[in-house]
Amino acid sequence: MGRMPCCEKVGLKKGPWTPEEDKKLVAYVEEHGPGNWRSVPAKAGLERCGKSCRLRWINYLKPDIKRGNFSMEEDHTIIQLHALLGNKWSIIAAHLPNRTDNEIKNYWNTNIKKRLIRMGLDPITHKPIKSNSFEAYDEFKDTTNMGHVAQWESARLEAEARGSILQVGSGSSNLPRLNLSKIPTQPCSSSYSISNEHMTAYNMYALVLATNYDLQSSVSTLSVPKLPEVCTIIGKFANAESLLSYKNDDNVVEISSQIQKVVEGSVSNLQDDDIMMAVEAFRTAKCESIQELFNESAVEKV
């Protein structure tokens, strides 16, 4: 894989940007637009590497970037989405208009993380930090394969405690409403060994459910997730599902493979409506199957 030379290797300037450098970069991007960053420094008269220019633009100079303190709603959204997705800063940023992933990451590391620790919660799992060694062992055992389970559960419980319905976004009316009470509980039996990738897939799938994504509406009022994202998410989830031994459910297998083909691009002549129907059917079928699994797991735990 080719890689951009770093600033150090080619003797370019590093460190904080000066106002003059910012001016040059802004002027260049305003005239030529962002992109082709490798050639930007030479054309803009900057002694920086293209990567540095790109980051400076994306994280600081872009005109629509929202700066300053995070609102309560933004704060809450970050906590909820982090509990669902983990350190997926770019995905979290997609839910917070005009905030950059870097800004959210910094805010998490310097603010929310510490707050969780003060509250006696593990910032990674969102679970109470236990002092008892046996409990700690149990937790280790549980989290070895189920990294995001605790994150999920904590977010869900918090959501329930606050009245089940949470707003995602910064108060904008065209942002999705996140109804966490609609999301099924995650599988919690230790007999399953699920990779983080599959857990993330599950969590994203849960997010699809939580946003009440209107698959029948050609013009959805929801900004996220878009249909292609839904297909990708559920396509990944279909893989995870196969590992979870849902092979006996013919309906699920059929729909799953159909979606998988769409996701892989081997089927290109399907209309949007067809895809929507498949996704919706898959979603409904999954919902029930997953719920059964959770019920069984709950019995095992008791």
CB of 110 to DNA, least distance (A): 3
Residue 121 β-bridge partners: 128
- Residue ranges binding DNA (CB under 7 A): 1-4, 6-8, 13-17, 35-39, 48, 50-52, 54-56, 58-60, 67, 87-91, 101-103, 105-107, 109-111, 114
CB of 290 to DNA, least distance (A): 24
Neighbours of 36 (CB within 10 A): 11
Bond preceding residue 225 cis, omega within 30 of 0:
yes
Task: List the one residue out of 36, 93, 31 whose CA is nearest residue 59.
Answer: 93
In the bound state with DNA, the residue whose beta carbon lies nearer, of 71 and 251, is 71
Cβ neighbours for 86, distance < 8 A, ≥ 6 positions apart: 124, 147, 148, 151, 196, 200, 203
CB of 59 to DNA, least distance (A): 6
In the bound state with DNA, the residue whose beta carbon lies nearer, of 55 and 253, is 55
CB of 84 to DNA, least distance (A): 13
Residue 121 DSSP label? B
CB of 196 to DNA, least distance (A): 11
User: Is residue 214 helix, strand or coil?
Assistant: coil
Parallel, antiparallel or unpaired: strands 177-179 and 165-167:
antiparallel
Tokens encoding 289: 């199957």
In the bound state with DNA, the residue whose beta carbon lies nearer, of 16 and 163, is 16
CB of 6 to DNA, least distance (A): 4
Tokens encoding 60: 């600081």
In the bound state with DNA, the residue whose beta carbon lies nearer, of 14 and 247, is 14
Name the burial class of residue 179, with classes exposed (0-12), middle (13-18) and buried (19+) by CB atoms within 10 angstroms of its CB: middle
Give the up-direction half-sphere exposure of residue 57: CA atoms within 13 A in the CB hemisphere: 22
In the bound state with DNA, the residue whose beta carbon lies nearer, of 40 and 146, is 40
CB of 128 to DNA, least distance (A): 22
Report d(CA 211, CA 165) in Å as an integer: 11
In the bound state with DNA, the residue whose beta carbon lies nearer, of 87 and 217, is 87
Amino acid code (one letter) for 265 = G
In the bound state with DNA, the residue whose beta carbon lies nearer, of 111 and 185, is 111
